[in-house]
Amino acid sequence: MVDALKLASDHGFPVVPFAVGSSLEGQVIPVHGGLSLDVSGMKAVLEVAAGGFQATVQPGVTYPELNRQIRHLGLFFPVDPGAEASLGGMASTNASGTAAVRYGTMRDNVLELRVALVSGEVIRVGSKARKTSAGYDLKNLFIGAEGTLGVITELTIRLWPLPANLVVLRANFETLGAAARCAVDIMGAALQPERLELIDERQIHAVNTHKGTDFPEAPTLWIELASPSETALAEALDLCRELVTDGGGVGLHAAHSAGERAKLWEARHHAYYAITALNPGHINMTTDLCVPLHQLPEVVEFTRREADAAGLDASIVGHVGDGNFHVLFHAPPDDLGTWAKVNTVYDAMITETLARGGTCTGEHGVGLHKRAYLAREHGDTLTLMRGIKALLDPAGLLNPGKILP
């Protein structure tokens, strides 16, 4: 890798890091040509320090593969963006997923990075210690930089103890807004769920069709609770049932067995593919808004209203414990009329989100497609971001055309 970067620097051609290609915003597309630098072969788990709750891995290791290798230690890595994503790529977009509500994002779970700069020089940023105040935080500069500032060559990440007892409560709601409001109540009751997912009736329908499941096709919350104590878990489940019922939830079903829970989360992780399969010939576009939790119900309802008014088939899923939700739009690529409507609705959603203190991307990153939205969200810091880019990559060779408008 160092040789490739030196070659690129010497000859002035772009370098675009690639591992498994599961990012959603065009991050891995070499829009200005050059070298697609494939790190998927760098897949060694270099060290697992169980007593220190940490592992050191190469960037091509996927999170499911890491979890298979450490499961026997009673440990796991909680960031689960859905696809079989690589840890290097996940750090590069600051990915998260369903468990971020409890365990945080990549930013919260990366301790130390080794990064190859465009010159080929490899630096170490962060620390293997759990916390550090030693100088400027360069680690977080590379996390979420989508390969535009350097190429991650090694990560030391936090591991967590596998929860002893788990249960998933499922409940259906009359409206999306009611489900979102109930999610806020659950967070407010300090139940500290492992996962708290909102799935609308369209996504459930797609999942049922695609996976052969028979979930009721209504706005639904999936709430996962954990506790080291079975008694405490039963108490938490009781409180959660009460909150859900008070919030208008019906059809409550608690999944206790590992098999049933796994089937459920697999269905959630495959929601994107389910919609794709249901609409052959269409292309998808996914939004990734994230707002402060108490703003979530209004923004979700606003989104539904705008999409309905425009006559769009928009399905919604959300990591709602974090205030993060995705709208999946789809249409044939040449249906320009529909795509124009999508863009109008998306634009209104961004305006609403920013007015409520939210962000245009909670976990997918900016890539190619959200650069204009980044400008709207952080217009006052674009000069500074460009300064940092120029400092680290003066010739603009690292993943050019991404993030910065």
- Could you say which residues in the range 36-55 bind a second copy, by CB under 8 A? 49-54
With CB under 8 A, what is the number of residues at the site for a second copy?
90
Kindly state the tokens that stand for 213.
């499941």
Nearer to a second copy, 209 or 381 (CB): 381
* Least CB distance to a second copy at residue 281 (A): 30
CB 219 within 8 A of CB 201: yes
Among residues 52 and 216, whose Cβ is nearest to a second copy? 52
65 vs 185, which CB is nearer to a second copy? 185
Site for a second copy in 372-401 (CB under 8 A): 373-374, 377-378, 380-381, 384-385, 387-389, 391-392
Minimum gap (Å) between residue 87 Cβ and a second copy: 16
Which residues, listed in sequence order, are joined to residue 57 by a DSSP beta bridge?
Answer: 45, 155
Reported as type and span, the H/E element at residue 178 is helix 176-188
Do the Cβ atoms of 364 and 288 come closer than 8 Å?
A: yes
Instruction: Confirm or reject binding of residue 276 to a second copy (CB under 8 A).
Output: no
Stretch that binds a second copy, among 156-164, 194-202, 216-224, 254-262 (CB under 8 A): 156-164
Instruction: Kindly tell me which residue out of 128, 211, 241, 282 binds a second copy, with binding defined by CB under 8 A.
Output: 128
Part in contact with a second copy (CB under 8 A); list of ranges 4-12, 61-69, 128-136, 206-214: 128-136
Q: Report d(CA 110, CA 88) in Å as an integer.
A: 10
Least gap, CB of 397 to a second copy (angstroms): 17
By the 8 A CB rule, do 207 and 270 touch? yes
- Binding residues for a second copy restricted to 186-245, rule: CB under 8 A: 187-188, 190-191, 227-229, 231-232, 235-236
Cβ density class 359-398: b for 16+ within 10 Å, e for less: bbbbbbbbbebbbebbeebeeeeeeebeeebeebbeebbb
Q: Exactly one of 29, 348, 368, 404 binds a second copy (CB under 8 A); which one?
A: 404
What distance in Å separates the CA atoms of residue 86 and residue 88, rounded to the nearest whole number? 5
In the complex, minimum distance from the CB of residue 372 to a second copy, in angstroms, rounded to a whole number = 12
- Which of residues 268 and 389 has its CB atom nearest to a second copy in the complex? 389
Closer to a second copy by Cβ: residue 135 or 280: 135
List of long-range contacts for 46-50, beta carbons under 8 Å, 24+ apart:
46/154, 48/73, 48/75, 48/159, 50/75, 50/159
Tokens representing residue 161 in the block: 């103890």
* Per-residue contact flags (x/-) with a second copy for residues 76 to 115, judged by CB under 8 A: -----------------xxxx---x---xx-xx---x---
Residues 251-270 that bind a second copy (CB under 8 A): none
Residue of 194, 358, 398, 400 that binds a second copy (CB under 8 A)? 358
> Between β-strands 35-38 and 15-18, what pairing exists: parallel, antiparallel or unpaired?
parallel
Among residues 89, 193, 249, 362, the one that binds a second copy under rule CB under 8 A: 362
- For residue 274, the number of C-alpha atoms closer than 13 Å in the C-beta half-sphere is 24
Q: Which residue has the tokens 């499922």?
A: 170
Return the number of the residue (143 or 206) whose C-beta is nearest a second copy: 143
Give the angle 221-225-227 at the CA atoms, nearest 5°: 175
213: left (phi over 0), alpha (psi -120 to 50) or beta: beta
State in angstroms the smallest separation of the CB of 153 from a second copy.
13
Which residues inside 284-303 make contact with a second copy, applying CB under 8 A? 288, 290-295
Q: Which residues have a Cβ under 8 Å from the Cβ of 44 and sit 6 or more positions away?
A: 57, 58, 61
From 3, 10, 135, 281, residue interacting with a second copy (rule: CB under 8 A): 135
Nearest distance in Å: CB 6, a second copy: 17
Least Cβ distance, residue 29 to a second copy (angstroms): 18
